C-alpha cells in the first residue's frame, strides 16, 4: 500500500462508498497518469518542444496556422492511442456496476470509455472527436475534402478537434449534467485533479454545499484538499481498487 496512505481514512472511505446512494466521480489528468498519457505539456517533445501548448490550443491559433495545430492534434492522438486504461479506470467502471455513479471527466483521452464507462461526461470534449469551424450546418466528415485540416466539400469550412480550447465555453449539456450530478450526489469522489480549472474545480464544493461527503484521491496536495472531508494521499491506480475492488478487464 502506498506509504503515506492512512489506513483509517481508507476504511472510513470504504464504508462511505458502500453506504452511498448517488456517487459523483470527478476525474482529471491524474487518473490517466499511470497509463502514461502525456499531460497537456508532456506532449511538447521533439519537433513540438519549441511550441507553447496553451498558444496552440485556442481558436485564433487555429485560424492563423490550421495545418500546424491540426498536425499537433494528430500527434497527440497518436500518443494517446498507444496508451491503455489503468486499474483506476477499470475500478471506476466496476464501481458503476455496483452503485449509482455519474462519472465526470476533464480528460479528453477517452480511456474511461475504453475501460467500460460508456457514459463518461466529457467536460472538455474528446481528443478523437471532430467538429467544424464556421460550418454551414451541412458539413459532412464522410464527404470532407482531405487535407490539413480536412474541409467541408460544400462550404469549405475547416474541420477542428472536438476539444474545448482555452477561452471557450464548455459543452452545455455536459456542464448541465455534471452540475446536476454535483447537486444531487451524496458522495463526491475527486480523482487526480489539481482543482485549478473552473467550472470543474467548483463542482466538489457545490456537492459539499448540497450535503455530499467529498473524498479526494491524489498523491500530492491539490486545491481541493480544503474542500475534502477525506484526503487519500496515493495514486489512483493503487487507491481505487483498495476502496471497492476493480475488475481489471482486458485493455481495450
Ligand atoms: P493537472 O495536470 O492540472 O493535475 C493533475 C493532478 O493529478 C495533479 O494534482 C497530480 O498531483 C495528480 N496526479 C498525478 N499522478 C496521479 C495519480 N497516479 N493518481 C492520482 N492523481 C495523480 O490536470 P487537471 O487537474 O486534470 O483543460 O487539469 C484540468 C484541466 O487543465 C485540463 O482538463 C486541461 C488543463 O488546462 C483543458 O484542456 C480545457
Helix (H, G, I), strand (E, B) or coil at 96: helix
Report helix, strand and coil shares of the chain as percent, to nearest 5. 40, 15, 40
Closest alpha carbon to 217 in 189, 177, 246: 189
Q: Active-site residue numbers?
A: 124
Q: Is residue 202 pLDDT above 70, yes or no?
A: yes
The mean predicted confidence, pLDDT, of the chain is 92
Ligand 1 within 6 A of CB of 85: no
42-46, 113-117, 231-235: lowest mean pLDDT where?
A: 42-46
Given pLDDT bands bounded at 50, 70 and 90, which one contains residue 249? very low
Ligand 1 within 6 A of CB of 161: no
Ligand 1 within 6 A of CB of 109: no
The residues spanned by each domain of the chain are 1-36+84-124+170-252
Is domain 1-36+84-124+170-252 in CATH 3.30.70.890, yes or no? no
pLDDT at position 2: 52
Global pTM reads 0.93
Helix (H, G, I), strand (E, B) or coil at 229: coil
Q: How many CB atoms lie within 10 A of CB 74?
A: 12
Kindly report, residue by residue over 206-231, the tens digit of the pLDDT.
999 999 999 999 999 999 999 999 99
Instruction: Give the residue, by CA position, lying nearest to ligand 1 atom 23.
Output: 29
Query: Which atom of ligand 1 is closest in space to residue 108's alpha carbon?
Result: 33
Q: Which helix (H) or strand (E) holds 217?
A: strand 213-217
Ligand 1 within 6 A of CB of 197: yes
Kindly report, residue by residue over 69-112, the tens digit of the pLDDT.
999 999 999 999 999 999 999 999 999 999 999 999 999 999 99
pLDDT at position 208: 98
Amino acid at each position: 500500500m502506498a506509504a503515506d496512505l492512512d489506513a483509517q481514512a481508507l476504511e472510513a472511505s470504504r464504508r462511505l462508498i458502500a453506504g452511498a446512494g448517488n456517487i459523483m466521480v470527478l476525474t482529471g489528468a491524474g487518473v490517466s497518469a499511470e497509463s502514461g498519457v502525456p499531460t497537456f505539456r508532456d506532449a511538447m517533445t521533439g519537433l513540438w518542444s519549441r511550441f507553447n501548448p496553451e498558444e496552440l490550443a485556442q481558436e485564433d491559433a487555429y485560424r492563423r496556422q490550421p495545418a500546424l495545430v491540426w498536425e499537433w492534434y494528430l500527434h497527440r492522438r497518436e500518443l494517446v492511442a498507444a496508451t491503455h486504461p489503468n486499474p483506476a479506470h477499470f475500478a471506476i467502471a466496476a464501481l458503476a456496476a455496483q452503485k449509482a455513479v455519474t462519472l465526470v471527466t476533464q480528460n479528453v483521452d477517452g480511456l474511461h470509455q475504453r475501460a467500460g464507462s460508456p457514459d463518461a461526461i466529457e467536460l472538455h470534449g474528446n481528443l478523437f472527436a471532430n467538429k467544424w469551424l464556421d460550418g454551414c450546418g451541412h458539413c459532412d466528415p464522410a464527404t470532407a475534402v482531405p487535407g490539413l485540416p480536412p474541409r467541408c466539400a460544400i462550404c469549405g469550412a475547416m474541420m477542428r478537434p472536438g476539444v474545448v480550447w482555452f477561452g471557450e465555453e464548455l459543452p452545455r449539456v455536459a456542464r448541465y449534467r455534471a452540475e446536476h450530478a454535483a447537486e444531487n450526489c451524496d458522495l463526491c469522489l475527486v480523482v487526480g485533479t489539481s482543482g485549478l480549472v473552473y467550472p470543474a474545480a467548483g463542482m466538489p464544493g457545490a456537492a459539499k454545499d448540497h450535503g455530499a461527503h467529498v473524498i479526494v484521491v491524489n498523491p500530492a496536495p491539490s486545491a481541493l484538499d480544503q474542500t475534502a472531508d477525506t484526503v487519500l494521499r496515493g495514486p489512483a491506480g493503487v487507491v481505487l481498487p483498495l476502496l471497492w475492488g476493480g475488475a481489471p478487464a482486458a485493455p481495450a
